[in-house]
Amino acid sequence: MGELYVIRHAQASFGRDDYDQLSELGFRQARLLEDFFNRVGTRFQALYSGSLKRQVATAEPLRSCLQPDAPQRELSILPEFNEYDSTAVINAQLPHLIREDPALEQDLPRLQTDRRALQRILDRSLSRWMSVPETVAGLETWSAFNRRVREGIVRILSASGSGKTVALVTSGGPLSAILKMALSLSDLETIQLSWQVRNASVSIFKYNRERLTLSSFNNVAHLEIIREPELLTYR
C-alpha cells in the first residue's frame, strides 16, 4: 500500500489584516517539520499543496524531502485542497443565528481578536451550513466542498499509483473531509474532529485502489520534542 501524508499548514496570522500568511511562529513550525522529516529519512515521491499562501509557504520547505529521483521536483498546486471560505459561511449564517440567539451579537466585535469568540460563531455557523442545504450566491455548499476534496484525493492517488509515499499540505477543513472519507464519519463528527487539528500536524493514510485507511492522526512529535509549549497551536 502507498502512504499519503496530509499536513495541516503551520500557524497563520490570526488577528492580522491578511490571515492567509504564516506568522513568524508558523515559519518556524514549517522549518521544524522539514528538519524532522530529513532527520528521520522520510522521503516523498510527490509533494502537493492547496493554492492558499499559508499552505504553499508550509509546503515549500518540504521540497528538500523529495526523493532525488522523484518524477516531479516542484511543488504541485491543487486548489481542490483550499479551505472553505469561513468568512462567507459566517456572513451567510449570522442573521439566522442571531435571530435564534441574540446573545451571539456580543461576539461580533471580537471575531478578529478573540479566538474563543471566533470559535463560538464559526462552530454554530458551520453546523447550520452543513445541516441546511440552502443555496447562497457565492457560497460553496458543504456537499460541494466535500466533493471537490474527494476529487482532489482521487486525482493524487491516480497520479501516484500503488506503493508510493506522497505528501499533501492543506488546511483543517479539507483534512477533516479526508477523514470523513476514510472513517465514514457523520457531518457533526467531521467538524468536531477538525477543531482538534494542530498547526503543522501530520496525519498519515494508507491507500490502494480500493480504499483509504487512517494510520495516524494529528502527530506533532516534531514540535513536542523541542519542549516549547508555544509551538503547539491550533489557529
How many CB atoms sit inside 10 A of residue 161's CB? Answer: 11
Residue pair 71/46 in contact (Cβ under 8 Å)? The answer is yes
Query: What pLDDT is stored for residue 183 in this prediction?
Result: 97
Element (H, E) at 190: helix 187-194
Distance from the first to the final alpha carbon of the chain:
33
C-alpha distance from residue 171 to each of 40, 53, 96, 110, 198 (Å)? 24, 11, 27, 23, 10
Of 68-82, 85-99, 121-135, the poorest mean pLDDT is in 121-135
C-alpha cell at 23: 506568522
- Report the candidate in 16, 42, 70, 208 with the shortest Cα–Cα distance to residue 7: 42
The 3-state secondary structure of 144-159 reads HHHHHHHHHHHHHHHH
Asked if residue 4 has pLDDT above 70, the reply is yes
pTM: predicted TM-score of the whole model, two decimal places: 0.92
Residue pair 199/175 in contact (Cβ under 8 Å)? The answer is no
**pLDDT tens-digit series, residues 35-83:** 999 999 999 999 999 999 999 999 999 999 999 887 777 899 999 999 9
Sorted by where each starts, the structural domains of the chain and their CATH numbers stand as 2-84+141-231 (3.40.50.1240), 86-131 (no CATH)
Compute the average pLDDT of residues 83-105: 89
Asked if residue 15 has pLDDT above 70, the reply is no
